[in-house]
Structure 1
């Protein structure tokens, strides 16, 4: 049997209407019912049906001939009309937490366990062995490798715009295809490039799992990417994968692991020939994140300074790997702001993130802009700027709703939880109403 439809949400403008707020405060349901009819188009017969009341009772209340005083009836009205509990002096209603915010919790920190060495050919994925066997008989040519790399660039663009959930089957299938090619002897230059492509696909697959908060699977593919890059001694790419693992550890509240991974990444990058300043700048910023999560102010500021020093040494003619080109000046600025924000230096963070968002105005990276806007809202809330914070977060909702990313939802949940002390304020109620509206579409 299909579930009954969710009750219609009241418009934000009604929930923040001073007359509605006052009517709810004094439990004047005659005014409440009239306002609901005028501003939400919910007529008495609909009110009766939604609140499990008789039409005659609703008519008597609306005419002022009867009052609603029993708590169970008032609760039915709150639930049926979707009036937040605090407006009627009730406890927070169960439906006030949007279903879209019920994300899975982060994996609890666990003691390090010895992990078996991953087998480059033992990859989870779609069952397409027979088709892959047919395609792998053809020896790849340089144009094939170019096409594979172009598809990887396209995957990353689509991941930024829409999230990686829908991309994952295609990426895993392509990874299995390339690993199948590696099983057969190829000329050395071709084999080297195939390992590089496979490593990039494994990292991308790990990233899509990370973005979905599927941390165990992400580790499997990140480990795979490390093994593939190690086969061709691509130390810069190994540094890149370790930087991803460091970021994941930060999300899992394992700052010690995050710092260890990024330090290992820096060691790999410094030992590689031709590592560019942009790569070192990105790694220094990941180090700043780890230190900030640990609460180490001095080390965070030192790492931030190193990130900016390295970036200033970069030039457009540097042979930057394709995977680091995303780390441009706006990204450096916003990450600097986030690092300050993690330390609780909200005023500095707000200025930097605001500047970065202005520079990113034409960016197609919807997920990134949503993240950055929620970070800005958090820093504004930390300073008590409730109106600014809710306005910023409301603007970010449209972008967040367009991206299938549990990581975005996680940031949204953090901001939503931080609004707890302010939920009786009209501007917070308006944000929550808009949030529920978007997440239940």
Structure 2
């Protein structure tokens, strides 16, 4: 038996056309079918197949010789042509929420059954790797360490562009490799370098779990990163890991933990010879996020002021660590706007986020999507529905390029905030575009 054709998404301009809205409201399917044919290129034969109607019946309806009134038929038309339920006086259809915005509780992966455990015959076994490792030099060469650091930089770039889900197996494998090298290395200087590389890989692994909203695993790897870097007493990097843990705590709605982590980070670098204004500015902004999560308006504003004060002290020759280079002026501005937004100060937040979004360049797809969604939220808070939906639509293209459950969570929140406006044409158009980018 042939499978029924998949519904084609109607263009947003048709769903917001006043004539289409009126035709749906009065359930005038003669007009509906003619508009669908004219503006979406879906001809009567395809309408019949999509809606499980006979071609002759569709022809009679389009000619005005027959009316469709049975609820079951109207529901088939809504589902077959992807006409939102509210336009036809129906309940919200199941397909109107893209699968990517449906919250799914993750369960631990189950190992395959014994009969399914297939091993590639063309790959050497792990025992061969162990044997060959015995013949390797005790200490890795400087070029090996340089290659490891270069791979970490590449991992971070690809995480910004595509998300970390697909990277994680490679990063974890490299982390284990470096930890094994730590067990065999004898040179103190090489060991110190390896501890730094391992800490970076552990932080990156923790970040990929955090971005996937797998918070327990993320915390375990962040903790491992702290233990590794403590061996070389790199206090700046400790502060970096603690700042990551603070950000995660805000997502987990644990603002007290968030504040404790970031204050520990500030204590870790305070007065240290390697502390730079850029690091201090970034940490002050993370402190602002924590205070905003607690609803502490005055403390948030004080932390924001300190972040800007420290940023003004930055000099070109400051010995900034590589991991803080992302914290440039547009990032300072957009984070300032987000902190105001967290407090509900939408009027102050909107121009700051909008300015930063205009100035953003590069390949950080996730950052572009995050910031556009935040801008849309502040616009919606001020009652600017049209602007909010247009801004959120701009966020969909970069969002679709990144596998990030954290980003999907932001989309879910904005999507939920549109509930009071479900019947508005601009909301309908946004939802249609949303389903195109994040299909069911």
Q: How does the TM-score come out when normalised to structure 1?
A: 0.91
Map 1:350-361 onto structure 2 (within 5 A): 350-360=350-360
CA drift of 1:151 comes to 1.3
Tell me the distance in 2 between the aligned counterparts of 1:246 and 1:255: 8
Aligned residue pairs, count = 421
Match of 2:166 in 1: 166
Map 1:99-110 onto structure 2 (within 5 A): 99-104=99-104
CA drift of 1:4 comes to 6.2
Map 1:29-428 onto structure 2 (within 5 A): 29-104=29-104, 128=126, 130-131=128-129, 134-135=132-133, 137-138=136-137, 139-270=139-270, 272-360=272-360, 362-428=361-427
Tell me the distance in 1 between the aligned counterparts of 2:5 and 2:230: 54
Cα displacement string for residues 418-440 of structure 1 (whole angstroms, at most 9, x for unaligned residues): 11111211111111111101112
Tell me the distance in 2 between the aligned counterparts of 1:135 and 1:37: 67
CA drift of 1:5 comes to 5.8
Tell me the distance in 2 between the aligned counterparts of 1:388 and 1:128: 56
Tell me the distance in 2 between the aligned counterparts of 1:249 and 1:373: 22
Question: Contact 1:295 / 1:343 at 8 angstroms: preserved in 2?
Answer: yes
Specify every segment of 5 or more residues in structure 1 that has no aligned partner in the other structure, as ranges. Answer: 108-126
CA drift of 1:269 comes to 1.6
**Residues 15 and 277 of structure 1: CA distance in aligned 2, closer, same or farther (over 3 Å):** same
**Residues 95 and 183 of structure 1: CA distance in aligned 2, closer, same or farther (over 3 Å):** same
CA drift of 1:135 comes to 4.4
**Residues 3 and 53 of structure 1: CA distance in aligned 2, closer, same or farther (over 3 Å):** closer
Question: Contact 1:15 / 1:21 at 8 angstroms: preserved in 2?
Answer: yes
Indicate the SS of the match to 2:184: coil
Q: Which deviates more, 34-43 or 175-184?
A: 34-43
Tell me the distance in 2 between the aligned counterparts of 1:177 and 1:228: 14
Specify every segment of 5 or more residues in structure 2 that has no aligned partner in the other structure, as ranges. Answer: 108-124
Indicate the SS of the match to 2:433: helix
Indicate the SS of the match to 1:183: helix
Question: Contact 2:203 / 2:241 at 8 angstroms: preserved in 1?
Answer: yes
Tell me the distance in 2 between the aligned counterparts of 1:332 and 1:414: 24
Indicate the SS of the match to 1:326: coil
CA drift of 1:197 comes to 0.6
Indicate the SS of the match to 1:315: coil
CA drift of 1:245 comes to 0.7
Match of 2:116 in 1: none
Tell me the distance in 2 between the aligned counterparts of 1:56 and 1:147: 69
Cα displacement string for residues 95-149 of structure 1 (whole angstroms, at most 9, x for unaligned residues): 1001121243699xxxxxxxxxxxxxxxxxxx95752663473221222212211
Q: How does the TM-score come out when normalised to structure 2?
A: 0.92
Question: Contact 1:278 / 1:324 at 8 angstroms: preserved in 2?
Answer: yes
Tell me the distance in 2 between the aligned counterparts of 1:268 and 1:374: 33
CA drift of 1:32 comes to 0.4
Cα displacement string for residues 21-42 of structure 1 (whole angstroms, at most 9, x for unaligned residues): 1100111111001111111222
CA drift of 1:264 comes to 1.2
Tell me the distance in 2 between the aligned counterparts of 1:321 and 1:174: 22
Question: Contact 1:106 / 1:252 at 8 angstroms: preserved in 2?
Answer: no
Tell me the distance in 1 between the aligned counterparts of 2:23 and 2:413: 31
CA drift of 1:6 comes to 3.6
Question: Contact 1:60 / 1:66 at 8 angstroms: preserved in 2?
Answer: yes
Match of 2:110 in 1: none
CA drift of 1:209 comes to 1.0
Cα displacement string for residues 383-431 of structure 1 (whole angstroms, at most 9, x for unaligned residues): 1111111111111111111111111111111111111111211111111
Cα displacement string for residues 357-388 of structure 1 (whole angstroms, at most 9, x for unaligned residues): 1221x222111011001100110111111111
Match of 1:436 in 2: 435
CA drift of 1:218 comes to 0.9
Match of 1:111 in 2: none
CA drift of 1:334 comes to 0.4
Cα displacement string for residues 246-292 of structure 1 (whole angstroms, at most 9, x for unaligned residues): 11111111111111111111111216432111111111111110111
**Residues 415 and 106 of structure 1: CA distance in aligned 2, closer, same or farther (over 3 Å):** farther
Question: Contact 2:175 / 2:201 at 8 angstroms: preserved in 1?
Answer: yes
Question: Contact 2:346 / 2:379 at 8 angstroms: preserved in 1?
Answer: yes
Tell me the distance in 2 between the aligned counterparts of 1:159 and 1:200: 14
**Residues 34 and 161 of structure 1: CA distance in aligned 2, closer, same or farther (over 3 Å):** same
